[in-house]
Amino acid sequence: MSAYETIIGLEVHVQLNTKTKIFCSCATSFGDEPNKNVCPTCLGLPGALPVLNIEAVKKAISFGTAINATINQNSVFARKNYFYPDLPKAYQISQFEIPIVGQGRIDIEVNEQTKSIGVTRAHLEEDAGKNIHENNYSKVDLNRACTPLLEIVSEPDMRSSDEAVAYLKKLHSIVRFLGISDANMQEGSFRCDANVSIRPKGDSNLYTRVEIKNLNSFKFIQKAIEYEVERQIEAWENGTYKDEVVQETRLFDTAKGSTRSMRGKEEAADYRYFPDPDLLPVFIDENLMREGAKIPEMPDEKKERYINTLGLKPYDAGVLTGSLELALYFESMLEEGASAKGALTWLTTELLGRLKGENTLQTCGVDSKTLATLVKRIEEGKISGKSGKEILDVLIEKVGDVDNLIDSMGLAQINDDGAIIAVIESVLSANTDKVAEYKSGKDKLFGFFVGQVMKNSKGANPARVNELLKEKLG
């Protein structure tokens, strides 16, 4: 048990999936030729004026609605001044005093315990470009400059790396379910900065916090926080805390698994915020508020429905609602006629258990209709669960039709009672001595009879074999 308490607050940058940038009409598409999607406005050329993209405002309202936050009808854009090569204007248009989204909360679950994490604010801002350092040269790609970001700032309510990751995964699922971002971490449309500090347990003071910048995977976020906590605890116990733990921005070296100093951490005053003179204050009227507040069923609501209406266990419902793709796949299976229990098992255990490496739910070639058909054939008794697994193995390797595979692989079960009874009578006639032993009390011989019937019938329905055998044996 550690003698120290960890204090974690997170700043998450979510790139909104608008077609055009936040203050100009340039495309936001990813992976285009460098510096293709730029114009005088996002390049910061003299005389070019920004115009706010109303779609970004709607998406911010949707997020605020989803986390039960205050939506500020009046908000202001400000200039955040700093110089860096990927920031053409030498300032970033952001929000400071009055953001679009005020205080809200996000509930997380860790070790079967629910905890509520406060959200301080969520404000709109423009992204910077991208610096590329290679072969002793530094280049800049400004395609990303001016793309719309929603920066979501949490309260310092998290006390472990597990809680931080749970919060991020919940936030990731919220923006995906809302459809306001693809939240692709590899492409940088869901990025996290972690503010980490420690204090002795029982101490209510807040000590020096360190910011770990631009973390873009749940695995690295967890490792970076854990390394930083250990570094700060070691400095505290060695008596070097004041010298080694300073307010700064650090980077996480994924190869070494450690953080390293990047630069001193700026305070708000260093950025010299002031209202942007080129942008009018934002007023959200009732129509825009209503339009932005129309949101789909959120993960927590969907989870409750799965538990209360479909009878799923809380853990299973949580697995399904942790991913938009999983939830949509599952519900599509239900629409195709699969039972909730069958769809859950064959999706989360059988199908996902077979996906390895880069093979994903989207690329494996087994769509929801195909898997639902397989589940239905098992539930109808046409094939056994074992045969279903054999068919799924084939479907993973190549596209196929479930019914055709049942026929071509000879896996159809015999459900004709007359045919099964004929085999049972044949087996019992050939084993009269064991029948007598069974009737005298050797119940374990029942398994022997089942095995013999299954062997001789070549595909009888096991459930029906059991039922008919019990009738014949009395």
- Could you tell me the CATH number of the domain that includes residue 467? 1.10.10.410
Q: Are residues 217 and 362 in the same domain?
A: no
Pair (398, 425) in one structural domain: no
pLDDT at 186: 86
- pLDDT in the model for residue 268: 58
Which H or E run includes 1?
none
Are residue 165 and residue 52 in the same domain, yes or no? yes
421/344 same-domain check? no
Q: Looking at the 3D structure of the chain, how many domains does it have? A: 3
Does one domain contain both 357 and 328? Answer: yes
Tokens of 261: 């100093």
If asked whether residues 395 and 422 sit together in one domain, one would say no
Can you give the pLDDT at residue 370? 95
Q: Which domain holds residue 388?
A: 299-409
User: In residues, how long is the chain?
Assistant: 474
Separation of alpha carbons 421 and 261, rounded Å: 78
Are both 133 and 202 inside the same structural domain? yes
Instruction: Note whether 168 and 20 are same-domain residues.
Output: yes
Look at residues 409, 434, 460 and tell me which one is the last residue of a structural domain.
Answer: 409
Per-residue pLDDT of the chain (474 residues; tens, 9 = 90+): 689 999 999 999 999 999 999 999 999 998 899 999 999 999 999 999 999 999 999 999 999 999 999 999 999 999 999 888 889 899 999 999 899 999 999 999 998 899 999 999 999 999 999 988 888 888 999 999 999 999 999 999 999 999 999 999 999 999 999 999 999 998 889 999 999 999 999 998 889 999 998 788 899 999 999 999 999 999 999 999 888 889 889 999 888 989 988 877 666 567 899 999 999 999 999 999 999 999 999 999 999 999 999 999 999 999 999 999 999 999 999 999 999 999 999 999 999 999 887 788 888 889 999 999 999 999 988 888 888 999 999 999 888 899 999 988 888 776 656 667 777 777 777 788 777 777 777 778 777 877 777 777 666 777 777 777 787 777
Number of Cβ within 10 Å of residue 401's Cβ equals 12
Domain boundary among 238, 266, 291: 291
Q: How many CB atoms lie within 10 A of CB 140?
A: 17
pTM equals 0.85
The closest alpha carbon to 248, from 272, 230, 232, belongs to: 232
3-class DSSP string for 159-187: CCHHHHHHHHHHHHHHHHHHCCCCCCCCC
| Per-residue pLDDT, 175 | 97
What pLDDT does residue 223 have? 95
Element (H, E) at 237: helix 218-238
> 403 with 424, same domain?
no
| CB 211 within 8 Å of CB 195 | yes
Do 138 and 81 belong together in one domain? yes
The position carrying tokens 């019938």 is 457
The predicted pLDDT at position 164 comes to 97
| Whether residues 241 and 329 fall in one domain | no
Of 291, 308, 333, the domain-final residue: 291
Collapsed DSSP state (helix, strand, coil) of residue 236: helix
> Same domain for 20 and 159?
yes
